[in-house]
Amino acid sequence: MAASKWHKITNITNASLAGSLDNKGGHVFKECNVTLNGDTAVKTEHFDFPVMGDLSILVNSQAVNINNDYVGSACKISMEGSIDNVNYVTLDTSAALQAVNTMDASPAMYLYDYDEEGRMPFMRLSLVGHTGATHETDEIIKIAVIPH
């Protein structure tokens, strides 16, 4: 499995920001686990939440120490959209997420501009490593999507 289902995060555990949206039916953000796959694109499942505005997307949101050259200078994340959940097109692609090895133990941020790029009935993310990237089968990172 390349990516897990999206998980709703309703609590903020930082003491100064503590609170829950459970009773209000909302969420703070959504996240999924992604298994890195060298320079092959890893696709998430389509979003199970509506895109109604800009999205902040954190790649490697838990700052996992990636012990290989997966995230090189050409590593990018793309927002993809589809009418039928089969045939996807690229709506937007980030600039390089980070220079070689600097995302190794830190998150990288990508902002999806809703007004500029739009939305489709089905949307997902695609993470692509740089040419020649390697991976280990146990390297899993989280991608977090924070709606504005």
Sole residue written with tokens 């505005």: 53
Question: What are the tens digits of pLDDT across the range 17-63?
Answer: 444 444 444 556 788 888 877 677 889 999 988 899 999 998 888 88
User: Which is nearest to 76 in space by CA: 45, 53, 99, 48?
Assistant: 99
Higher pLDDT, 49 or 122: 122
User: How is residue 55 annotated by DSSP?
Assistant: E
Higher pLDDT, 104 or 23: 104
Separation of alpha carbons 95 and 13, rounded Å: 31
Separation of alpha carbons 57 and 32, rounded Å: 11
pLDDT band for 82, please (50, 70, 90 cuts). Answer: very high
The pLDDT assigned to 69 comes to: 56
The pLDDT assigned to 27 comes to: 53
Contact 119, 113 (CB under 8 A): no
Pick the CATH number of 7-147 from 2.60.120, 3.90.1150, 2.60.40, 3.40.50: 2.60.120
pTM, two decimals, is 0.79
Mean pLDDT of the 87-99 span: 82
Max intra-chain CA distance, the chain: 47
Question: What are the tens digits of pLDDT across the range 27-39?
Answer: 567 888 888 776 7
CA-to-CA separations, 69 to 3, 98, 101, in angstroms, rounded: 20, 12, 7
Residue 133 has pLDDT above 70, yes or no: no
Contact 120, 55 (CB under 8 A): no
